[in-house]
Structure 1
Amino acid sequence: MTTVILDYQASVPSSFFAGTPAVTVPQTPTQLQIADLGLFLPNITSSSANNQVLLTADVGVRNLGPIFNNDVVFHIYRDGREIFNTIVGLQIPGPVTSDYNISFNTIDENVPFGFHIYQLTVYAFIQTAQSTIQVVGPITFSGLGLGSG
């Protein structure tokens, strides 16, 4: 079976640390959209059941405050429907600031032919009102569409 690259897109709203002003991550249930991209999967393979989109994200965050063990939750949506989520614990030893570069990826399988919008969002679980989590960059979000048949 032959694998074909159907499309590739990348979204780089912030490509370097502190390249844009820090944005405070809201607490659950409010989500902050930090990146999006569009992919077109043409009908050139035998079936969309074999279509996959490899999604990769890198996000720089900062944990501020006196309490450790705050969490951030990332979601990826395809066309408004959630396809992936992950929770990442942020720990700091006392009243200091810690910076993190969080990387993750997933595969969206059985993607129908056509144009699709992928959105990357984040929200926080914060232990105390004195703590804050910020997106500080870099942010990259990419998608590679593959088909076989």
Structure 2
Amino acid sequence: MVRILDKAAVEPLRRFNLARSFTIRFSPAKSRLATIRIRIPVLNAQPNRVELVATVGVRGVTGIAQILFRIFRDGKEIFNTVQGIESTGSEQNYAVTFQAIDKNVRSGSHVYTVTAENRTANTRADVVGPISFSGLAVKTNS
């Protein structure tokens, strides 16, 4: 049995929208996509886990970009994944979804941030939407 401790969600871009798109920065620079805050109570909150899910709409503009997505808790990286994004002449539009589980988070308020960065020179990929990021903190039995 699990007990919900907190939930947070944000949706900076609700849909695919070329007019509101922006270019993903090259590593080591990061494009911040979304931020949420999760609160873990002091009492009766251990053990716990925070289940995080992000979806990012990305469009390949030139070349085949390798996009590094990261999730940070309070500025410390806790998860990353890489997605190849093709451009013209092939697939161009992607809805990249990934999830992470942060276990036994200490009590207090925690800021989770999802970022993207392009790791491939001479390529371009843009965030075109949607962007959504959610977190669910639960107390677990073990």
TM-score by length of 2: 0.91
Corresponding residue for residue 110 of structure 1: 104
The whole-number CA distance in structure 2 between the counterparts of 1:108 and 1:140 is: 18
Kept in 1, the 8 Å contact 2:10–2:132? The answer is: yes
How far 1:145 moved relative to its partner? Answer: 0.2
Name the CA shift for 1:90/1:109 in 2 (closer, same or farther; >3 Å). Answer: same
Structure 2: which 5+ runs fail to align? none
Kept in 2, the 8 Å contact 1:20–1:137? The answer is: no
What amino acid maps onto 2:98 in structure 1?
Answer: F
Aligned residues: percent identity?
Answer: 35
Corresponding residue for residue 50 of structure 2: 53
How far 1:20 moved relative to its partner? Answer: 5.7
How far 1:91 moved relative to its partner? Answer: 2.4
Corresponding residue for residue 99 of structure 1: 93
Structure 1: which 5+ runs fail to align? none
How far 1:127 moved relative to its partner? Answer: 4.3
How far 1:93 moved relative to its partner? Answer: 6.0
Kept in 1, the 8 Å contact 2:56–2:97? The answer is: yes
Whose Rg is larger? Answer: 1
Q: Does 1:126 align with 2:120?
A: yes
Runs (4 or more) in structure 1 with deviation over 6 Å come to none
Match of 1:142 among 107, 113, 134: 134
TM-score by length of 1: 0.87
Kept in 2, the 8 Å contact 1:54–1:105? The answer is: yes
